[in-house]
Structure 1
Amino acid sequence: MRLLFPLIACLLLLLPRSLSYSYLPPLCHQEEKIALMQFKDSFIIKNMNSFWEYTEENHPEVASWRIDGNNTNCCVWDGVECNQDTGHVIALNLQSSCLYGSITSNSSLFRLHHLQNLTLVGNDFNHSQIPSEIGNLSSLIHLHLSNSNFLGQIPFEIQYLSKLSFLSVTQFSSDGYNYLYTTSLTSLVQNLTNLETLEFSGINISSIVPESLANLSSLKFLTLDGCGLYGRFPTRFFQLPHLQFLSVSYNKDLTGHLPEFDTNSPLEKLFLGSTNFSGNLPASIGNLNSLSFFTIDHCNFSGAIPNSFSNLTQLTWLDLSQNSFNDLSWLTRASSNDILPQFQILRLANLNLTKFPDILRNQSKLLTLNLEGNNLHGLIPKWMYNVSKESLQWLYLSNNFLTGIENFPAIIPWPNLLYIDFKNNMMHGSLPIPPPSLVYYFVSSNSLTGRISPFICNMSSPIVLDLSYNSLSGMIHPCFGNLSQSLLTLILRSNNFDGTIPKTWAKGCLLRMLDLRQNQLQGHLPRSLANCTELEYLHVGRNQINDTSPFWLGTLQQLKILVLHSNSFHGAIKSYETNCTFPNLRIIDLSHNHFSGNLPTGYFTQWDAMKSIGVKNLYYLSYSVYYSITIVIKGVELEYKKIQDGLTVIDFSCNRFKGDIPEILGNLKGLHVLNLSNNAFTGHIPSSFGNLTQLESLDLSQNKLFGEIPPKLTQLNFLSKFNVSHNCLTGPIPHGQQFGTFENTSFEDNRGLCGRPLSKICGDSDISTPPPSTSFEENQGPKFFFEFGWKVIVMGYGCGFVFGVVIGHIVTTRKQDWVIKIFGKKQRQTRIKVNGRK
């Protein structure tokens, strides 16, 4: 025993050398530590609204880097890895590290010559270029630069990184623009013979796919989504010996077909959606024993869906949507005894299916089922209740001819459903009650009737409710206000709701969009809406609301669109208090009400969003549903189904405003539409309107304005609609620019005006100021605007921003009976077919 203790002591002395040495962190080199600190100091650390913010938490790794105090050894810093033997930095992983700034050609990063792994994905390098010096890091094996806001050409020097096995420079931008590009994909990567992963999605390549890239025999993962590729895709790629993942989606001019597949193909995921691939699906696709993802949506495949799909037992994601198959028997004739893949994602949209596919009967694991845009008629069959009953979360059935649910259950029968889309069908009867789990509920454009059951308020955390374009009636249940703790979008447009708007909008209300237009709502606009501090869109037009000016809405700092038209709002508009500023207001429509009095100058002082010129972000205003409005221009209505962020509109027409038009309106230089017609304004047209350089439509008709038309208005180069008719204006009509395009009707009933396009020549004796042609009372109401007697429906674009931002707009007047007979709900089946959704 005495000899045992010295022996144990000797072993303990030897242990650090033999066993524990490898667990001690190496000591980093001083020059590499300095290089890392200089790299850190070249950036600002800040949180960013980046792509990665939605997929993982941002971590500022460099916050732990120090050269004094504890942890001065750079090999233990977050995101840094060193070689255990030499101490050289071999890996730098700064994924989503909140770095903001530029990487320059003299960056200290390029002094880390031993780097094998460089990961900078998910930062913001402020539209700087990827420096060509990246080619000096000759030891790199792994290079990940994706989604980091780089700009310009990908440096050709990457071709010198001969050891690379992983290269990812994918970049997706919110505006869809490809900020990174390469002029030759071949030159860039053909010498990288060790590549196993190549990810270039979102890069502007704009070329054919070079055949020589199929020589990269080590490739396992290849993604070239949205790169502007065209021409024929080489079939050799499908036969690469190690290829597991291939994605070339969103290259609409890329053609190709699927080859015959061998049984030893390692393909696991194949994404060809939104390309121009065509031809038949080969029966040999059943040989792809490892295939789990297969998406060919929005292509031109035809023929039959092969029965060999039943062999793909690993297939969990299948998207065949929007193709031209003429034989869907594999979907519709499946037997209960068949052994079929168990899908999690199944998308069969726009395939002209006439019944619910029998393949669904055996599905127990579905998360998403998409059958929208087919030819499904009648009731949803009862057997569908048991399809993935416990797992189904996302169900798309829109744009069909469904009339209801067989043996209509009390509650929609999938208890864990999060999203359901029934819109644009022919469903009748009462509103289907959603399960408590439901978050998104779309049932617009159907024929649902009756009152809304209070059980709808059992939803635990709804986000979007769209019940528009039905015939639902009764009062809006007060519980909708209570749902606003989670509800972001509530659309009850175009129903038969009556009574008052709920007053139960409590503090903490998260509502962003509230659309109650075209109902029979009465009473006041509830003051509790002021609790909805995130509200961006409020539309209560075409109701019977009887209230005074809701100046208190100015406390809603995020409000962008406010529409109150065609109600009974009345009284004078009060000046703002200091906390009522409307800083983000872009569109306001108070038309067809009974507002009166003068427009106070202070009302427009802080409308900052209308003062800026130009569109910075070019996005459509929405939250799950696009914001929409109708604008009246020269007596016709333009329905904007999508609104870009830069569109600015003021419509105060058909009220009883009087006095001078405030000069301060000329400060709102971002305005595109200004309509003050059908009021009792007196005084001159403000010369400050010459500052409204973005203005495209100006309507001052049916007032009592006098004096001359300011010559400065000829500076409005975008002005395409102009109307000052039915006033008391005098003097010559200005010449030049857009004024040469306006017709007589823009100036009629101003007996003191002269010059083209009027027939009266300036200098005639009778140019005295005439009395108003009609009394103020005669100008009021909707008759003036809707005197056309027919409804015209058009699709198209006009000049300027106002018309250019419209995806499709409807030009209309109110007398619409014959159009309803042709295009209304009684003929919904015809309308859907005309729109080409089959």
Structure 2
Amino acid sequence: MTETWRNNTDCCSWDGISCDPKTGKVVELYLMNSFLSGPLRYDSSLFRLQHLHNVNLGSNNLSGMLPDSIENLKHLRVLSLGGCNLFGKIPSSLGNLSHLTNLDLSANDFTGELPGSMGNLNKLTELHLGSAKLSGNFPRVLLNLSSLVRIDLGYNQFKGMLPSNLSSLSKLEYFDISGNSFSGTVPSSLFMIPSLISLYLRVNEFSGPLDIGNISSQSNLQNLYIGENNFRKGIVDFSIFLHLKSLEGLDLSGIHLNISSTLHLPSPIDMLMLSSCNISEFPMFLQNQTNMFYLDISANQIQGQIPEWFWRLPALKFVNIAQNFFSGELTMLPDSIEHFLGSDNQFSGEIPRSICELDNLAILVLSNNNFSGSIPRCFKNFNTISILHLRNNSLSGVFPEEFISVKLISLDVGMNWLSGQLPKSLINCTSLEFLNVEDNRINDTFPFWLRSLPGLQILVLRFNEFHGPIYSPGSSMGFPTLRIFDISENSFTGVLPSEYFAGWTTMSSVRVARFDSIIGFAVAGSSQAPYHNYVVLTIKGLKLALVGSGFKIYKSIDVSGNKFEGGIPESIDLLKELIILNMSNNAFTGHIPPSLSNLSDLQSLDLSQNILSGEIPPDIGKLTFLAWMNFSYNRLEGPIPQATQIQSQNISSFSENPGLCGAPLLKKCGGEEEEEEGTKQEQDEDEEKEEKDQVFSWIAAAVGYVPGFFCGLTIAYILTP
């Protein structure tokens, strides 16, 4: 945007600059998302533009503290610095901007509480502080700002109870405190604000009875989101929400509900979230909800078939019925559907061919059901789907080329009976990030062409019938964005060249801060994600499932259970962020590369069941995060390094290496045996000498004792009368 900013030109003609037509003074600066960088210094020329009314520098890299000199902009009405990487405390001088009506400091890295001086901004109508890392109790200074229309404090670190007199914010229309740690009861004063339209309280720690029975009859509340809290006191009767005559969006997720089969909503509702509400019957009141486009009734105990009338609701775009007990065949999907999540149910039969007629379908998740038959061959414009998860069913046949959408981001067909080759049309999916085809019967060679996909992060081919080399002379070897590479339990062969891992950029980058240890833990994804990826990693010799919407922490390579030969590629040491390395059960030969000690983040290492020889490199003991290792069933020799990380391993980690010696094995090394023998001989000599000394001491004591004894008897006898 600043390309038009040239010397010797009128700044009022520059992009992003507005001037007062009468005075020529700069009154507006709009440079949002303009790739600016560098901190706002206290003496910045910006603070000399004292006629500014509107400043928007949002989504730039202004990394630094917000200086006190911000108060120089005395006429400022709108200040937008959201997403600017600002840190430190919010300066109290901000409270001197008495004309401010709109303040946006969201998505920054501030610390501490909101300054008390903010209570001086009595003209403020909009306050946006979402995801700003603020902490402390609810800022009571806001209760003085009676002009406030919008308050966004969502996803910070606030805690404690809400004040009881929130009704003093009499003009409030939008109130969002989601994603904090607020506790106690929800004050009834919130529901007494007639102007309130949207109330977001989800993902907090609110408890106690949920009572909105005294809600004002004049309520304009359209959006009520109170899910994912700790509401108790038994079951909440859904009918209490019938007081909300204008309701359009309702989130009651996590609240145990009682829903009458004769319940009738007085007004049409657009969005309804009833996840984890202990519902056992399909909500019949949905039958007349012709405006509903978003429905989440996942993680309940609803059984039986989905009513036919449900599929005829005309506006449905997002439907999540996952984690229930729905059964029978899935005969159709609504024509309007864009996102359909039906995983973890008991659906059977074939996947309906009607999905090929859905022009707007973007997400289809049918994992963990009993679907059988083949994957439909879709010929009609199947180019919209971005998420396709069909894992853990009984699907068979080949994976049709026609079913591959060029917009795919995540594809999971693992744990089925699919055969044939991997669809080469995947090469056209330039946005693909996640590909999992594990545990099928796919018979193919290594898909070298996947390297051309610029964003591929997770590739799982394990437990199939892949074969042949994974290296082709003259072809690219790099997977620049790959984080998880699992080709285990196949029939891959050949030798990996020394430079094989040279182009694996993401695993090679060095990050500033380390993540916490993942050994022994499985991670669940955010409950807000519309779908979950699923990956099984072999960690500490155990297979652990990772479920989530992203795995940026995990950097793993698993090539175990194949027929690789030759040495371990020296370029393995480039993968500085590698956490899990499993090359077991192959035919690797040669020495263990000493450069493995450069993998400072490594936590799990398995080189067992190969033909490796030589010594275990001593410097591997310096890997402080390495919690588990296995070198068993090789031809290793020499002493086991005496390092804490290595000595803490089970003896089985070094077994079946006839030449290995030293702790924790019982077999002593040669020098240790000679030294031990010499030490034992010296100990024996010392013990023999000590025994002789003890005998002489006893004899000397006895010699001294006997004459004394008789002398004592003699004296005693003489003194006896």
Q: For this structure pair, what is the TM-score category when the shorter chain's length is used for normalisation?
A: 0.7 to 0.9
Find 1:104's aligned residue among 20, 36, 41. 41
Find 1:717's aligned residue among 621, 624, 631. 624
Q: Does 413-422 or 255-264 show the bigger shift?
A: 255-264
CA contact (8 A) 2:537 2:543 kept: yes
User: 1:170 and 2:105 equivalent?
Assistant: yes
Q: Size of the alignment, in residue pairs?
A: 663
State the partner residue of 2:596. Answer: 689
Query: Amino acid of the residue matched to residue 640 of structure 1?
Result: L
Structural mapping, 1:467-486, within 5 Å: 467-479=366-378, 485-486=383-384
Structure 1 485/101 Cα, relative in aligned 2: closer, same or farther at 3 Å?
farther
User: 1:248 and 2:177 equivalent?
Assistant: yes
Taking only the aligned residue pairs, the percentage that are identical comes to: 34
Structure 1 713/151 Cα, relative in aligned 2: closer, same or farther at 3 Å?
same
How many Å apart are 1:740 and its aligned residue? 1.7
How many Å apart are 1:586 and its aligned residue? 1.9
Instruction: State the alpha-carbon separation in 1 of the partners of residues 666 and 332 from structure 2.
Output: 65
Structural mapping, 1:177-326, within 5 Å: 179-183=109-113, 185-186=115-116, 188-209=117-138, 211=140, 213-255=142-184, 257-259=186-188, 266-277=195-206, 278-281=208-211, 283-300=213-230, 325-326=235-236
The CA RMSD over aligned residues, in Å, is: 3.4
Q: Deviation per CA, 1:111-160: give whole Å up to 9, x if none.
A: 22233x22315331431322221112223344333333322222222233
Structural mapping, 1:445-484, within 5 Å: 445-479=344-378
User: 1:656 and 2:593 equivalent?
Assistant: no
How many Å apart are 1:325 and its aligned residue? 4.9
CA contact (8 A) 2:560 2:583 kept: yes
Structure 1 710/641 Cα, relative in aligned 2: closer, same or farther at 3 Å?
same
State the partner residue of 2:74. Answer: 138
User: 1:605 and 2:502 equivalent?
Assistant: yes
CA contact (8 A) 1:120 1:148 kept: no
TM-score, normalization by structure 1: 0.72
State the partner residue of 2:20. Answer: 82
How many Å apart are 1:366 and its aligned residue? 2.4
Query: Amino acid of the residue matched to residue 753 of structure 1?
Result: L
SS in 1 for 2:41: coil
TM-score, normalization by structure 2: 0.83
SS in 1 for 2:637: strand
Gaps of at least 5 residues in structure 1 are 1-59, 173-177, 304-323, 768-838
How many Å apart are 1:765 and its aligned residue? 11
Structural mapping, 1:402-801, within 5 Å: 402-405=302-305, 408=308, 412-479=311-378, 485-504=383-402, 509-575=406-472, 577-579=474-476, 581-614=478-511, 624-642=530-548, 644-763=551-670
CA contact (8 A) 1:262 1:288 kept: no
Structural mapping, 1:369-408, within 5 Å: 369-378=272-281, 381=284, 384-385=286-287, 387-389=288-290, 391-405=291-305, 408=308
Q: Does 557-566 or 658-667 show the bigger shift?
A: 658-667
Q: Deviation per CA, 1:459-491: give whole Å up to 9, x if none.
A: 102211111111111111221x86652211111
How many Å apart are 1:182 and its aligned residue? 4.7
Structure 1 612/737 Cα, relative in aligned 2: closer, same or farther at 3 Å?
farther
Query: Amino acid of the residue matched to residue 402 of structure 1?
Result: I
CA contact (8 A) 1:217 1:242 kept: yes
SS in 2 for 1:286: coil
SS in 1 for 2:670: coil
User: 1:153 and 2:52 equivalent?
Assistant: no
CA contact (8 A) 2:223 2:247 kept: no
Query: Amino acid of the residue matched to residue 388 of structure 1?
Result: Q
The structure with the larger Rg is: 2
Query: Amino acid of the residue matched to residue 113 of structure 1?
Result: Q
Structure 1 632/482 Cα, relative in aligned 2: closer, same or farther at 3 Å?
farther
CA contact (8 A) 2:158 2:180 kept: yes
CA contact (8 A) 2:222 2:247 kept: no
Query: Amino acid of the residue matched to residue 300 of structure 2?
Result: N
User: 1:127 and 2:30 equivalent?
Assistant: no
CA contact (8 A) 1:144 1:166 kept: no
Query: Amino acid of the residue matched to residue 613 of structure 2?
Result: F
Structure 1 646/406 Cα, relative in aligned 2: closer, same or farther at 3 Å?
closer
Instruction: State the alpha-carbon separation in 2 of the partners of residues 154 and 715 from structure 1.
Output: 43
Q: Deviation per CA, 1:389-445: give whole Å up to 9, x if none.
A: 2x2211112112223446546x82223321111111111111241123211111111
Structure 1 684/118 Cα, relative in aligned 2: closer, same or farther at 3 Å?
same
Instruction: State the alpha-carbon separation in 1 of the partners of residues 36 and 456 from structure 2.
Output: 32
Instruction: State the alpha-carbon separation in 2 of the partners of residues 727 and 262 from structure 1.
Output: 71
How many Å apart are 1:763 and its aligned residue? 0.9
SS in 2 for 1:485: coil
Instruction: State the alpha-carbon separation in 2 of the partners of residues 537 and 576 from structure 1.
Output: 26
CA contact (8 A) 2:532 2:547 kept: yes
CA contact (8 A) 2:412 2:437 kept: yes
CA contact (8 A) 1:498 1:521 kept: yes
Instruction: State the alpha-carbon separation in 2 of the partners of residues 634 and 223 from structure 1.
Output: 44
SS in 2 for 1:427: strand
CA contact (8 A) 2:371 2:393 kept: yes
Instruction: State the alpha-carbon separation in 2 of the partners of residues 659 and 377 from structure 1.
Output: 59
Structure 1 393/758 Cα, relative in aligned 2: closer, same or farther at 3 Å?
same
CA contact (8 A) 1:617 1:645 kept: no
CA contact (8 A) 2:415 2:437 kept: yes
Query: Amino acid of the residue matched to residue 467 of structure 1?
Result: L
Structure 1 204/468 Cα, relative in aligned 2: closer, same or farther at 3 Å?
closer
Instruction: State the alpha-carbon separation in 2 of the partners of residues 615 and 204 from structure 1.
Output: 20
CA contact (8 A) 1:380 1:402 kept: no
State the partner residue of 2:269. Answer: 366
How many Å apart are 1:279 and its aligned residue? 4.7
Structural mapping, 1:25-40, within 5 Å: none
CA contact (8 A) 2:229 2:254 kept: no
Structure 1 591/462 Cα, relative in aligned 2: closer, same or farther at 3 Å?
same
Instruction: State the alpha-carbon separation in 2 of the partners of residues 745 and 73 from structure 1.
Output: 75
Query: Amino acid of the residue matched to residue 299 of structure 2?
Result: N
CA contact (8 A) 1:147 1:170 kept: yes
CA contact (8 A) 2:434 2:457 kept: yes
Q: Deviation per CA, 1:748-807: give whole Å up to 9, x if none.
A: 11121110001111118999xxxxxxxxxxxxxxxxxxxxxxxxxxxxxxxxxxxxxxxx
Gaps of at least 5 residues in structure 2 are 516-522, 675-721
CA contact (8 A) 2:11 2:17 kept: no
Structure 1 366/261 Cα, relative in aligned 2: closer, same or farther at 3 Å?
closer
How many Å apart are 1:562 and its aligned residue? 1.4
Structure 1 287/76 Cα, relative in aligned 2: closer, same or farther at 3 Å?
farther
Structure 1 122/679 Cα, relative in aligned 2: closer, same or farther at 3 Å?
same
Structural mapping, 1:68-79, within 5 Å: 72=10, 74=12, 79=17
State the partner residue of 1:348. Answer: 252
CA contact (8 A) 1:463 1:488 kept: yes
Structure 1 68/466 Cα, relative in aligned 2: closer, same or farther at 3 Å?
same
Q: Does 462-471 or 623-632 show the bigger shift?
A: 623-632
Structure 1 766/549 Cα, relative in aligned 2: closer, same or farther at 3 Å?
farther
